Amino acid sequence: MKLETKNLTKNYIVPKSGEVNVLKGIDLLINSGEKVALTGPSGAGKSTLIHILGLMDKPTSGKVLIDDKDITSFTPTKLAKMRKENIGFVFQFHYLLADFTVMENILMPVWNERKTKKEYALNMLETMGLTDRANHMPNELSGGEQQRVALARALINNPKILFADEPTGNLDRKTGEKIETLMFEMCNKLKTTLLVVTHSRELANLADRQIKIIDGKIC
């Protein structure tokens, strides 16, 4: 899926401080299947941008286009459908559900289709090196294993776009490298567009190109 923004802005009202301009006219084009790293200092607006692109937040002004469709005018129901069918998310923290097994966590985004998706989930567990962990609970896994489960969950519905917000920022370098390699391998295999927010130079260098944001602007 192609992803584009036109003059995108995002402002927040902060008590006692007034209006804060987080994004200041972002023009961006990411082609279908491209792997892009979004870099820049903390507070530059990286996470805000991918939350808007991932349809989890709305811009103050400007446009977001997915495959040339302006989705900023979509209803909440239409946005939810678009997000469910086309978008995957991986965060710095895995956000696994503590009362569900590894397999159940992976199947959560497709719960109504879990019977037909189970074989695919098992294949994904094998790819992630987690076949023997299918019936374990999240607290029985290492940090790297938990993040691999989160990656499998994000990809279970074959999303056309995967957003990753500091996906290895909470892991040691060696474990993080394994997750990063898996993420790029899976996105290449599925022909998934990838936008990853990172402070890691090593991770950014894996991308097709890098986009740097400073003070709410692309530089």
b/e map of 103-141 (b: 16 or more CB within 10 Å)? bbbbbebbeeebeebeebbeebbebbebeebbeebbeeb
Q: What is the pLDDT of residues 91-115, one digit of tens each?
A: 877 889 999 999 999 999 888 888 8
Q: What is the pLDDT of residues 138-184, one digit of tens each?
A: 999 988 889 889 999 999 988 999 999 888 777 778 888 888 888 89
Q: What's the pLDDT score for residue 194?
A: 94
Residue 25 has pLDDT above 90, yes or no: yes
Residue 212 has pLDDT above 90, yes or no: yes
b/e map of 185-199 (b: 16 or more CB within 10 Å)? ebbeebebbbbbbbe
Q: What's the pLDDT score for residue 219?
A: 86
Q: What's the pLDDT score for residue 38?
A: 94
For residue 107, give the nearest of 154, 62, 68, 59 by alpha carbon. Answer: 154
Residue 185 has pLDDT above 90, yes or no: no
Which regions of 43-85 does DSSP assign to beta strands (E)?
61-66, 69-70
* Domains assigned to the chain: 32-58+73-218 (3.40.50.300)
Model-level pTM? Answer: 0.88
Q: What's the pLDDT score for residue 99?
A: 93
> In this structure, are strands 161-165 and 87-90 parallel, antiparallel, or unpaired?
parallel
Which regions of 108-178 does DSSP assign to beta strands (E)?
161-165
Q: Which helix H or strand E contains 196, and what residues bound it?
A: strand 193-197
**Arithmetic mean of pLDDT, 118-138:** 89
Instruction: Band the pLDDT of 32: cuts 50, 70, 90.
Output: very high
**Arithmetic mean of pLDDT, 201-207:** 90
**Arithmetic mean of pLDDT, 49-78:** 90
